[in-house]
Amino acid sequence: MRIEYLAAAKICLAIATQVAAAFPDPLPLTGPFFFVHDPSLVQRDDGKYFLFTTHDKAGIITATHLNGPWTEVGSILPDNSSIQLPGRDDIWAPDVSFHNGEFYAYYAVSTFGSQDSAIGLAISQTMEPGSWVDHGLVFNSTTGDEFNAIDPNLSIDELGNPILTFGSFWDNIFQVSLTKDLRTVTSSPVQVSFNSTSPNPEEGAFVWKHGSFFYLFISSGEQYSEPFRTDDLPPAGDEYKVFVGRSKSAHGPFLDKNGIDMRETGGTLVLGSHGNIYAPGGQVIFTDKKTNRDVFVYHYVPVDSPSPYNDSFSSLGLNGIDWSSEWPVLTAL
């Protein structure tokens, strides 16, 4: 009797857990469709929102309200990156943040499937098109390295020292230390996340401080079909999802909710496909100055995109974050 009762309770718990795992829909956006991939969202002191995207030479998309309309107004690097590598005219994953009175955009130069990659830096006073000055190479990787120098994210550690978190495929996510002027790498890469059950699935990492923890977010899974085709998406189950782990140090080790190290395939699910949302990833957080709320920002492919269904329909997702459990739980905005 008692065992049956416990079994029934366990089933109820399992159902409750499934219900709790349902994700909230993103904020509905007004205005025409705009492409966004690997978004970075920064709000200027005057309240204006600047969204940056992969492709379009690091496209700049602005809005005065979070729910739009959003308008593509230009690019960070309209004349390509000064880094002499293939991909210099197709910038990936710009990561913009405010430091020392200026906006710093770390960006990646690479081509699909190549490890001959570099992280570059452009700086602006205003984030407007035409205001960005390219400072070129910060860090690179070459074929045969353990890592791949793409998807940069700048963060400041517990001692006030800058670090770049980066990587994808090739043993996943690494960190290096930077000089205080944020332009030069001073250490060898150290791995902070790795999924051993699948050779290459993590990318798009960033580190966010909340309360007394640093949270490492990653996108895990595939964003394109395998073998690579731009007119198809990965099969359900293999597609992008967002995971998190946390540490008292910005350098890790980052542990998930079950205490598993992210270097040993740990990671607590933050967001996966649901409803009209497919393959969410490329995530970032910013704090909205108007509401003082943390906003979770990501890209996804809408399930109701025109057929054939491909990554060029990649759209902006925005949600709130409930931190009350000291783990990020997405909410509606």
Residues near ligand NAG (CB under 6 A) are 40, 79-80, 89, 95, 97, 140-142, 145, 153-155, 195, 197-198, 201-202, 206-208, 220, 230-231, 243, 265, 267, 284-286, 306, 308, 310, 312
**Phi, psi dihedrals of residue 10, rounded to the nearest 5°:** -65, -40
Could you tell me the smallest distance in angstroms from the CB atom of residue 217 to ligand NAG?
Answer: 8
Could you tell me the smallest distance in angstroms from the CB atom of residue 94 to ligand NAG?
Answer: 7
Q: What is the phi-psi region of residue 113: left when phi exceeds 0, alpha when psi lies from -120 to 50, beta otherwise?
A: left
Could you tell me the smallest distance in angstroms from the CB atom of residue 203 to ligand NAG?
Answer: 10
Where do the DSSP E strands lie in the chain?
40-43, 49-53, 59-63, 71-75, 92-99, 102-109, 117-124, 133-141, 153-156, 162-166, 173-177, 190-193, 202-210, 213-220, 241-247, 268-271, 277-288, 293-302, 315-322, 329-331
- CB nearer ligand NAG, residue 10 or residue 119: 119
Could you tell me the smallest distance in angstroms from the CB atom of residue 198 to ligand NAG?
Answer: 3
CB-neighbour burial class of residue 112 (10 A; exposed 0-12, middle 13-18, buried 19+): exposed
**Catalytic residue among 56, 203, 239, 256, which?**
203
User: Could you count the other beta carbons within 10 Å of the beta carbon of residue 295?
Assistant: 20
Residue nearest ligand NAG, CB atom distance: 267
Is 38 tagged catalytic?
Answer: yes
Give the Cα separation of 64 and 39 in Å (integer): 17
Could you tell me the smallest distance in angstroms from the CB atom of residue 207 to ligand NAG?
Answer: 5
Rg (Cα) of the chain, in Å, rounded? 20
- CB nearer ligand NAG, residue 1 or residue 196: 196
- CB nearer ligand NAG, residue 178 or residue 207: 207
Could you tell me the smallest distance in angstroms from the CB atom of residue 3 to ligand NAG?
Answer: 32
- Give the residues across from 299 on adjacent strands: 281, 316
- CB nearer ligand NAG, residue 125 or residue 198: 198
Contacts 24+ apart (CB under 8 A), 263-269: 263/191, 263/192, 263/193, 263/194, 264/194, 264/196, 265/194, 265/195, 265/196, 265/197, 267/193, 267/195, 267/218, 267/220, 267/243, 268/243, 268/244, 268/327, 269/21, 269/241, 269/242, 269/243
- CB nearer ligand NAG, residue 170 or residue 243: 243
Instruction: Tally the residues of the chain.
Output: 333
Is 203 tagged catalytic?
Answer: yes
- CB nearer ligand NAG, residue 4 or residue 40: 40
So which residues are the catalytic ones? 38, 203
